[in-house]
Amino acid sequence: MSPSQESRSDGASRQAPLTDYEDLSRSADFLRQLDAASRTSNPLKRFPPEHEKRFREDARAKFGQARALTSLLPALMLVTSPLWGQPLMHPPAGFIELIRAFEFALIVPLCLVSAWMLWRRPSSVIGETLFMVSFLVLAVTLEWLRHRGISMGFHLSPSLSSCVLVGFIVIGRVPLREAAAFVALYLGFMLFSDWVREAGAPPVRNPVDWLVEGIFIGVVISGAMWNELYSRRNWAAQQLLKSLAYVDPLTKLPNRRAFEQHYESVARHARREYKRLFVALVDMDHFKNLNDHHGHDYGDGVLVEIGLVLSDFARRPLDMAARLGGEEFALVLYDCSRADGLRRLEELRQQVEALDLANAGTARGHVTISAGGVGVHADVPLAEAYRMADTVLYAAKRQGRNRTVIADSAQAGSAVA
């Protein structure tokens, strides 16, 4: 059987791990797409659907707190309006009461609730929706007040609702499509408010007001386009960088750096939950012989094939299989006892043997692996776990290869769990 050279782009779904290195195991095609996206000049260009979804989730998490602060701005502006609104605009008495009623009964509470939700959970979809709703209500209310003000002989100017639009969309980093929908709604409401004015009443906006509105809307749309473009470029560049830094290019498994970082996070998690970890080193037997007999390309194909088996083996969210280098791989299994670790390693060994990949010139004639494992307490550093696993791996090699050995407390002392 000849090993497959396909990369792991088979779409096998995994649950969310502590670290997301395996999500980066992409096909070369996707890396090319990311590279192009990191240099694009088209803010409307989307990523493929599943990546678009991740981009949006990441953007929501990244800008959540900025949106929370943006929500506080109108609340602050409205609460302090008695200090600046009256001296600046001299509204008639009845109009002030109307403004206060809207401010304190509707807009300030809405802004505060969305700020609170987004501050606590920046990625909250409800928080983000409330953020958009609160600004829509604010813009519509200001527009309505402007409309009412005219019939009371008061001209609300400059256009406060346009300022709100700029703050909300540009500072709050609203995605381009939502921003465009918001602007369209706002424009529609402005036209509507002009259309429903009483017969004989002056227009809600004179030509200069419309010019100012146009300038504000231009600023909003161009700001939203730049925000979108740079968010997309940055996200693509970050993904590309992570792929190159944390993923082994041949097997598409996480590399040593990713494994070390994952071990740190998983060990912290295990300490909090009083769980054990099982760490193993897996090494292919007689790999030099395989390269010599079948060629380096075949050797690479075998590594890819073993990578697929290992990645399938470590499917649980907190488990990880990584390629440390050459023909050596590492595994960390979360909440796994020594007995379970031994059983699972043995299954892995049999699975590799069952692939029946040729390794001519060796006694068995096919590809085999040796594995050394150790169950550790969560406070054991990775270097120590490596050292113990390496000792038993060496024992497995000495005992004739194609076998699994795990460390006992005599070999590893109190570190063994």
Ligand X SMILES: Nc1nc2c(ncn2[C@@H]2O[C@H](COP(=O)(O)OP(=O)(O)OP(=O)(O)O)[C@@H](O)[C@H]2O)c(=O)[nH]1
The contact set with ligand X (CB under 6 A) reads 250, 283-289, 291, 296, 299-300, 303, 326-327, 397, 401
| Shortest distance (Å) from residue 302 CB to ligand X | 7
Residue 256 CA to residue 248 CA, distance in Å, equals: 9
Q: How many CB atoms lie within 10 A of CB 133?
A: 12
- Residue closer to ligand X, measured from CB, 56 or 401: 401
The residue with its CB nearest to ligand X is 299
| Shortest distance (Å) from residue 298 CB to ligand X | 8
| Shortest distance (Å) from residue 351 CB to ligand X | 18
3-state secondary structure of 415: helix
- Residue closer to ligand X, measured from CB, 7 or 19: 7
Q: Which residue has the tokens 């068995």?
A: 364
CA nearest 378: which of 259, 281, 257, 268? Answer: 268
Contact 142, 157 (CB under 8 A): no
Q: Residue 403 carries which side chain, given as an amino acid letter?
A: R
Residue 288 CA to residue 278 CA, distance in Å, equals: 28
| Shortest distance (Å) from residue 367 CB to ligand X | 10
- Residue closer to ligand X, measured from CB, 228 or 248: 248
- Residue closer to ligand X, measured from CB, 242 or 401: 401
Q: What DSSP string describes 210-259?
A: HHHHHHHHHHHHHHHHHHHHHHHHHHHHHHHHHHHHHB-TTT-SB-HHHH
Alpha helices in 247-359 (DSSP H): 256-273, 287-294, 296-313, 338-355
| Shortest distance (Å) from residue 297 CB to ligand X | 7
CA nearest 258: which of 308, 329, 183? Answer: 329
- Residue closer to ligand X, measured from CB, 50 or 292: 292
| Shortest distance (Å) from residue 388 CB to ligand X | 18
- Residue closer to ligand X, measured from CB, 340 or 353: 353
